[in-house]
């Protein structure tokens, strides 16, 4: 790395961390982006490298320790392996470069800077939460390197209109609209309790749900965080509660849902994408989720998704979860962009804004002007332990 690039790296990291620490936050810790950093012009362009095309993969933690990180890594590596088996791009092979946001707060921004200046990646695929995705987006906006978010759902990520930011998961607003349509419009339920797990993504999802619910003239009868004791669990809902809307991880939610459904067998359960991302699909999910309706990935029901499932099972010996499917699609989307526009950062950024990728495992991918995926939110219902397409 040149001396100028090293100076830029240090300044970029310091400015990002300082600016994010001093900005205002909402009641759930929303991050606002307000920095201005000069762009470094000394970095090489990946188009100059004809032997290897590098794609950065930002994970929340070590894949050895974290299920979502491991799933995303495996999905991304499978996409690259399949592309290289088909010849790569004009003889150039694809390579996944992995860094994590693990460690001290702000590690995600440092990792993103390293992707650009040390690794010289063509683009970055992120499988991190909203807080770390905000930091990575700062780097994307200043380095003009494409970032594809495959996990973060917080709606403000796309509200700044960073031309290099794209998201292939439905954002919190899109999920809230779909859940409200199902609960209040189609099923005409009224006694609804909102239950959310403490944490940045879960709290922001719950906040967005309540905001849109109010705008549409509906209401909830109560809301609470995940209870921490048997007594709190018993006080979460009453006998008149018709439905629960859950924003949380399946691993932490399902023990609570088992107890609540035992107390009230007629209780209906609805959940955001996070409820299926960490293992519900392809796992032995519990009776508390039986009959539940959840936002999910559609990879179980597409032709490309079936190929992905078979290849994943063959390579890793287990069924994939939605987290793996989105990382797989994020990398394949970049590979498709390279095929159409070449390994050029600017060309890929421009091309993605108008792309329609029909062969994604999670269904067709196209974007609006802010980089949000425009295909309808996909929802499933669990029937006798199996995901079924929700269809009315």
**Burial readout 203-230 (b: 16 or more C-beta within 10 A, e: otherwise):** bbbbbbbbebbeeeebebeeeebbbeee
Q: What's the CA gap between 69 and 129, in Å, rounded?
A: 11
Q: Are 69 and 127 in contact (CB under 8 A)?
A: yes
Nearest by Cα to 390 from 202, 200, 181: 181
Nearest-angstrom CA–CA distance, 98 and 26: 32
Distance CA 356, CA 340 (A): 11
Q: Could you tell me if residue 360 is inside a domain?
A: no
Do 108 and 49 reside in the same domain of the chain? yes
Q: What is the pLDDT of residue 385?
A: 77
Q: Are residues 83 and 132 in the same domain?
A: yes
Of 361, 351, 330, 345, nearest to 128 (Cα)?
330
Burial class (CB in 10 A: 0-12, 13-18, 19+), 253: buried
Using pLDDT thresholds of 50, 70 and 90, give the confidence band for residue 25: very low
**Nearest partner of 326 among 296, 352, 370, 358, judged by Cα:** 296
CB 163, CB 192: distance < 8 Å: no
What is residue 69's predicted lDDT score, i.e. its pLDDT? Answer: 95
188 and 308 housed in the same domain: no
Residue 239 confidence (pLDDT): 77
pLDDT at 237: 76
Give the rounded distance of the alpha carbon of 260 from its chain centre: 28
In a domain, 154, yes or no: yes
Q: For residue 28, what pLDDT is reported?
A: 36
| CB 280 within 8 Å of CB 211 | no
Residue 361 lies in a domain: no
What tens digit of pLDDT does each residue of 226-269 get? 986 666 766 777 778 999 999 999 888 988 898 888 888 899 99
Number of domains in the chain: 2
- Render the burial of 328-363: b for 16+ CB within 10 Å, e for the rest: bbbbbbbbbbbeebebbbeebbebbeebebeebbbb
**Structural domain for 189, as ranges:** 172-299+378-389
Could you tell me the CATH number of the domain that includes residue 96? 3.40.50.2300
pLDDT band for 376, please (50, 70, 90 cuts): very high
pLDDT beyond 60 at 380: yes
348 pLDDT more than 70: yes
The 3-state DSSP class for residue 288 equals: helix
pLDDT category of residue 10 using cuts at 50, 70 and 90: very low
Q: Identify any residues that bridge with 94 across adjacent strands, giving them in sequence order.
A: 53
Residue pair 116/139 in contact by the 8 Å Cβ criterion: yes
Q: 168 near 371, Cβ under 8 Å?
A: no
Residue 212 is assigned to a structural domain of this protein: yes
Q: What pLDDT sits at residue 216?
A: 97
- 232 and 86 belong to one structural domain: no
CA nearest to 387, candidates 317, 311, 315, 325: 325
Place of tokens 């290099």: 164
Highest mean pLDDT among 4-18, 101-115, 159-173: 159-173
Confidence class of residue 24 from pLDDT cuts 50, 70 and 90?
very low
What letter does residue 301 receive in the DSSP assignment?
A: G
Looking at per-residue pLDDT, the higher value among 44 and 367 belongs to 367
Question: What percentage of the chain exceeds 90 in pLDDT?
Answer: 66
Same domain membership, residue 209 and residue 292: yes
The reply to whether 8 and 98 lie within a common domain is: yes
Higher pLDDT, 338 or 250: 338
- Given a cut of 80, whether residue 12 has pLDDT beyond it is no
- Does 144 have pLDDT greater than 70? yes
Alpha-carbon distance 336 to 357, whole Å?
8
Is 79:53 a contact under the CB 8 Å cutoff?
no
What value does the mean pLDDT take over residues 279-292?
A: 73
Tell me: do 117 and 188 sit in the same domain.
no
The per-residue pLDDT for 23 is 34
What average pLDDT does this structure show over 90-111?
A: 89
* pLDDT given at position 232: 72
Q: What is the mean pLDDT of residues 60-82?
A: 96
Q: Is residue 362 part of a domain?
A: no
What was the pLDDT predicted at 281? Answer: 56
Q: Do 257 and 384 fall within a single domain? A: yes
Give the H or E element holding residue 186. Answer: none
> Do 254 and 128 share a structural domain?
no
39-48, 130-139, 210-219: the lowest-pLDDT one: 39-48
Tell me how crowded residue 175 is: count the other CB atoms within 10 A of its CB: 26
Are residues 282 and 263 part of one domain? Answer: yes
pLDDT range class, residue 16, cuts 50, 70, 90:
very low
CA-atom Rg of the chain in angstroms: 21
Instruction: State the chain's mean pLDDT as an integer.
Output: 86
Give the list of residues 6+ apart from residue 111 with CB closer than 8 angstroms, or none: 58, 99, 100, 101, 136
**Residue 65 domain-assigned?**
yes
Q: Domain for residue 373, yes or no?
A: no
Give the whole-angstrom CA distance, residue 221 versus residue 193.
6
Report the candidate in 381, 236, 372 with the shortest Cα–Cα distance to residue 295.
Answer: 381
- Assess whether 87 and 194 both reside in one domain: no
pLDDT at residue 160, rounded to an integer: 79
Considering the domain architecture, whether residues 232 and 265 belong to the same structural domain is answered as yes
- Strands (E) in 309-351, as ranges, are none
pLDDT greater than 60 at residue 45:
no
**How many angstroms separate the CA atoms of 184 and 202, rounded?**
21
Q: What is the mean pLDDT of residues 267-287?
A: 79
pLDDT value, residue 169: 97
Q: What is the pLDDT of residue 280?
A: 58
**21 alpha-carbon distance from chain centroid:** 23
Confidence band, pLDDT 50/70/90 cuts, at residue 111 = very high
Higher-confidence position of 11 and 221: 221
At 225, is the pLDDT very low, low, confident or very high (cuts 50, 70, 90)? Answer: very high
């Amino acid at each position: 790395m040149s001396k100028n690039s090293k100076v830029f790296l240090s300044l970029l990291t310091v400015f990002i961390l300082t600016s994010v620490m001093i900005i205002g936050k909402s009641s759930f810790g929303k991050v606002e982006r307000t920095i201005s950093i000069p762009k470094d012009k000394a970095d090489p362009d990946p188009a100059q490298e004809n032997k290897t095309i590098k794609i950065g993969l930002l994970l929340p933690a070590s894949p050895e320790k974290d299920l979502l990180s491991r799933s995303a890594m495996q999905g991304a590596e499978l996409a690259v392996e399949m592309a290289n088996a088909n010849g790569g791009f004009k003889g150039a092979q694809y390579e996944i470069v992995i860094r994590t946001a693990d460690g001290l707060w702000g590690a995600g921004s440092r990792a993103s800077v390293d992707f650009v200046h040390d690794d010289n990646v063509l683009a970055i695929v992120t499988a991190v939460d909203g807080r770390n995705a905000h930091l990575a987006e700062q780097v994307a906006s200043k380095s003009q390197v494409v970032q594809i978010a495959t996990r973060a759902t917080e709606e403000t990520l796309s509200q700044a209109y960073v031309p290099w930011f794209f998201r292939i998961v439905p954002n919190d607003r899109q999920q809230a609209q779909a859940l409200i349509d199902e609960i209040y419009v189609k099923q005409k339920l009224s006694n609804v309790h909102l239950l959310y797990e403490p944490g940045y993504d879960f709290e922001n999802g719950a906040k967005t749900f309540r905001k849109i619910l109010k705008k549409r003239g509906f209401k909830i009868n109560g809301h609470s965080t995940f209870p921490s004791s048997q007594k709190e669990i018993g006080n979460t809902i009453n006998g008149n509660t018709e439905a629960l809307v859950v924003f949380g991880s399946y691993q932490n939610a399902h023990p609570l849902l088992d107890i609540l459904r035992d107390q009230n067998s007629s209780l209906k359960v609805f959940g955001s994408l996070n409820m299926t991302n960490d293992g519900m699909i392809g796992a032995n999910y519990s009776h508390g989720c039986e009959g539940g309706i959840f936002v999910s990935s559609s990879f179980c029901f597409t032709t490309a998704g079936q190929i992905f499932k078979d290849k994943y099972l063959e390579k890793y010996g287990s069924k994939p979860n939605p987290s793996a499917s989105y990382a797989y699609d994020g990398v394949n989307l970049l590979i498709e962009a390279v095929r159409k526009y070449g390994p050029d950062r600017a060309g890929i950024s421009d091309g993605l804004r108008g792309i329609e990728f029909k062969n994604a495992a999670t269904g067709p991918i196209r974007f609006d002007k802010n980089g949000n995926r425009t295909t309808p939110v996909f929802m499933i219902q669990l029937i006798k332990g199996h995901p079924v397409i929700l269809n009315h």
